[in-house]
Amino acid sequence: MTSPPAALSPARAAPPAHRSRRPLPPWLAPLTGAAVAVAAYLLFRGTAPLPHDDDAAQFGAVNDVRDWVDANRNESPVFLFFVNYVRLAVGGLYDALHLVLDGLGWVGLIGAAGALGQLAGGRRIALVAVLGTGSFGVLGLWEASVDTFALVLAAVLLSLLIGLPLGVAAGRSVRLRRLLTPVLDVMQIMPTFAYLAPMVLFFQIGPASAAITTMIYAIPPAIRITALAVEQVSPAAVEASTSLGATRRQTLRKVHLPMARATIALAINQTVMMALSMVVIAALIAAPGLGSDIIRGLSRADVGVMLPAGIAIVVMAVVLDRITMAAATRGPVPPGALPSRLRLAVPAVILLVTGIAARLLPAEFPREWVLRFAGPVNEAVNWAKFSWYGATEAIRNGVTEALLNPLQTVLTTAPWWLVAAVVLAAGWRAAGARPAAVAVGCLLATALLGLWQHTMETLTTVLAGVVPALVAGLALGIAAARSPRFAAVQRPLLDTAQTMPAFVYLLPALALFGATRFTAIFASVIYAVPPVVRLVEDGIRNVSPVAVEAARSCGSTERQLLWKVRLPMARRAILLAANQGIVMTLAMVVVGGLVGAGGLGYDVVSGFSQRTDFGMGFAAGVATVLLGIMLDRITQGRRWAPFPPKVPLKKRIA
């Protein structure tokens, strides 16, 4: 008789279960690391800080390049046969668009916007386009709005002409996508001021350099989103097209582009939004349009001049957003719809009527229709400034003394190796070894630029602004995800906050709190909250309904459901929200260099506004990019799973 198999033999039965070790609490490691860092700081503070080296930050080679360009602008073949022709071509494109828009007149342009809205999305979009375009004249900013519109169209056309083909190619080639990713990262993180000086250096001031600057700033979303759209096309459809004998070009035209149409339209939409946010800053290099009114209002501390221009840009963004998104989401024609010729007749009639009216009415917008509210706005701001002086002064001084000064002292007096160790540990725990190494490398590179102290000052303001932005964004996002009514009320406010130019946030903060670091932090919080709210709301809404129902079946309350299920499962979205909040705060803090924020923002602004400090501005721009990449890598959070594995749902809810 044969012996039983080893797996069934009594002698080989499973060993008795031993008492498992109790796992360490997840907060123990971060708490221990924080205690070690505090102890190391107390022992070694002030022993190995890196000073701010003005001589090292001058970047003499950059200054030499600037001097060479100034001396050889009219002699070098690079300028005579390439740079100058590019400047003339872009300037000619702007002039042609401006001539067409200005030639339509105010009635013709309003009618053209209504016809385009009717063609894209029907009567509702047409009404939005007509009212929005007409508001430019009511605000008394018709000529400036036409200038801005022409500049945005020129920049967007150039961005799409270059960005869409590159995005399609990147979506079909992994190698090209990996090659473009770091370039696009630098383009998106680079402070907007840092684009201005090189453009002026090569293309001089005016509409041409402003359009090229806006194009460079607006092109990354066109490339990224188009690449994502092409990459996500169904492989089965591509394989079927290839199996039927289609060439790569036919597959692109007949499969990739039609199936990616909606997402590519989103790329166009985001490109327009980025261009609108950049044309304001481009006013510093003589860009025509609404940006000059905002810059003038900022320099004079005149909210009455600044606010109408900001409202006009927001309205322009809303009109362009509604038209492009309506065209993107337009579905197939329903069976009972009018024939295509009749559908085209309505926009044609609108154009015909407005064309006749444009011939009969004056070319200038009627002055009696213009609203004058600069005086009341300034009076309200002055009343708030003097009435709330005690409260605003107490808030500013309290935050500065209790938070900003101690935090900046810690960062600027800590040994450089301790700061690097903290960044390495945080990046390793949050995102893994490779992102942590990149983060530390970027941090130490700022020391090689001789800008360690100013980098630490900028990091102080970023951290002080990120925390309240994340707290407010998380609270508002949770409230919007749990209440559709609250979300509907909040959505137009978020739209306005996201499209409002960054400069607009500075003047009210400047009027209330003066030119200090707190002003830049206050403005950065308002600027960074909207994307955080949207991402948190979207992440919580997209939590699996199965997990929610399982939690409810276990008897969880709404509070337990939020803390034990929704937030843990939306952790990746929340980490992305933190990432975007940090990037937005960093961008606004650099803009805050205009109102006394100090740090790298002041270096960028002063360096590019003074010829003798051009190298300083360039070095500060590079240091800002390095700081942004460091914070981005730390907050990627790829190693943070939604919740620990092998833990039953019932135990996670309890």
Tens-place pLDDT, residues 307-319:
788 888 888 888 8
Length of the chain: 654
**Per-residue pLDDT at 441:** 92
Closest alpha carbon to 500 in 307, 324, 220, 325: 307
DSSP single-letter state for residue 557: -
Cα separations in angstroms, 175 against 192, 249, 435, 464, 533: 28, 19, 20, 39, 34
Q: CA angle, corner 623, sides to 622 and 626, nearest 5? A: 90
Contact 102, 136 (CB under 8 A): no
Q: What's the whole-number mean pLDDT along residues 190-205? A: 74
Residue 153 has pLDDT above 50, yes or no: yes
**Per-residue pLDDT at 6:** 46
Contact 533, 476 (CB under 8 A): yes
Q: Tell me, what amino acid is at 360?
A: L
Burial of 548 (0-12, 13-18, 19+ CB in 10 A): middle
- DSSP H helical ranges for 367-451: 374-387, 389-399, 405-413, 416-431, 433-448
Contact 521, 464 (CB under 8 A): yes
Percent of the chain at pLDDT > 70 equals 81
Contact 320, 264 (CB under 8 A): no
**Per-residue pLDDT at 644:** 37
Would you tell me the crossing angle of helices 389-399 and 502-513 to the nearest 10 degrees? 100
**Per-residue pLDDT at 157:** 92
Burial of 242 (0-12, 13-18, 19+ CB in 10 A): middle
Q: What's the whole-number mean pLDDT along residues 244-252? A: 79
User: How many Å apart are CA 63 and CA 614, to the nearest integer?
Assistant: 6
User: How many Å apart are CA 418 and CA 345, to the nearest integer?
Assistant: 70
Residue 648 has pLDDT above 50, yes or no: no
Residue in the structure block whose two tokens are 């100013």: 454
Q: Tell me, what amino acid is at 9?
A: S
**Per-residue pLDDT at 154:** 93
Cα separations in angstroms, 193 against 74, 213, 299, 358, 461: 26, 10, 17, 40, 18
**Per-residue pLDDT at 500:** 65
DSSP single-letter state for residue 190: S
User: How many Å apart are CA 396 and CA 596, to the nearest integer?
Assistant: 14
Count of CB atoms situated within 10 Å of the CB of 469: 29
Contact 552, 562 (CB under 8 A): no
Q: Tell me, what amino acid is at 239?
A: E
C-alpha gyration radius of the chain:
28
User: How many Å apart are CA 535 and CA 500, to the nearest integer?
Assistant: 19
User: Which has the higher per-residue pLDDT, 277 or 400?
Assistant: 400
User: How many Å apart are CA 169 and CA 173, to the nearest integer?
Assistant: 6
Q: How confident is the model at residue 336 (pLDDT cuts 50, 70, 90)?
A: very low
Residue 646 has pLDDT above 50, yes or no: no
What are 354's two structure tokens? 């407005």
Residue 330 has pLDDT above 70, yes or no: no
pLDDT in tens, 434-450: 888 989 999 999 888 88
pLDDT in tens, 230-244: 887 777 887 788 787
Q: How confident is the model at residue 57 (pLDDT cuts 50, 70, 90)?
A: low
Residue 11 has pLDDT above 50, yes or no: no
pLDDT in tens, 368-390: 777 777 777 778 777 877 888 78
User: How many Å apart are CA 516 and CA 393, to the nearest integer?
Assistant: 11
Contact 431, 638 (CB under 8 A): yes
Residue in the structure block whose two tokens are 């009972």: 336
Q: What's the whole-number mean pLDDT along residues 557-577? A: 80
Residue 652 has pLDDT above 50, yes or no: no
Residue 654 has pLDDT above 60, yes or no: no
DSSP single-letter state for residue 58: G
User: How many Å apart are CA 510 and CA 514, to the nearest integer?
Assistant: 5
User: How many Å apart are CA 56 and CA 619, to the nearest integer?
Assistant: 9
Closest alpha carbon to 399 in 534, 519, 499, 486: 519
Residue 141 has pLDDT above 60, yes or no: yes
Residue 642 has pLDDT above 50, yes or no: no
Q: How confident is the model at residue 8 (pLDDT cuts 50, 70, 90)?
A: very low
User: Which has the higher per-residue pLDDT, 366 or 650?
Assistant: 366
User: How many Å apart are CA 305 and CA 286, to the nearest integer?
Assistant: 18
Cα separations in angstroms, 604 against 58, 298, 425, 524, 585: 12, 18, 30, 17, 16
Q: How confident is the model at residue 626 (pLDDT cuts 50, 70, 90)?
A: confident
What are 164's two structure tokens? 């869409």
Q: Which of 123-137, 348-362, 583-597 tops mean pLDDT?
A: 123-137
Q: CA angle, corner 501, sides to 495 and 507, nearest 5? A: 115
Report if pTM > 0.75: no
Q: What's the whole-number mean pLDDT along residues 349-369? A: 72
**Per-residue pLDDT at 9:** 44
Cα separations in angstroms, 595 against 279, 508, 590, 605, 654: 20, 12, 10, 10, 50
User: Please, what is the end-to-end C-alpha distance for the chain in angstroms?
Assistant: 53
**Per-residue pLDDT at 20:** 53
**Per-residue pLDDT at 397:** 87
Q: How confident is the model at residue 301 (pLDDT cuts 50, 70, 90)?
A: low
Closest alpha carbon to 351 in 150, 129, 143: 129
Residue in the structure block whose two tokens are 């083909």: 165
pLDDT in tens, 483-541: 888 888 887 788 777 666 666 677 677 777 877 788 888 888 888 888 888 888 878 88
Q: What's the whole-number mean pLDDT along residues 108-114? A: 87
User: Which has the higher per-residue pLDDT, 209 or 303?
Assistant: 209
Task: Please state, rounded to an integer, the average pLDDT across all residues of the chain.
Answer: 78
Query: DSSP labels for 323-343?
Result: HHHHHHH--PPPTTSPPHHHH
Residue 88 has pLDDT above 70, yes or no: yes
Residue in the structure block whose two tokens are 């399982």: 550
User: How many Å apart are CA 275 and CA 211, to the nearest integer?
Assistant: 9
User: How many Å apart are CA 591 and CA 462, to the nearest integer?
Assistant: 12
- For the chain, how long is the longest CA-to-CA vector? 113
Q: What's the whole-number mean pLDDT along residues 75-90? A: 83
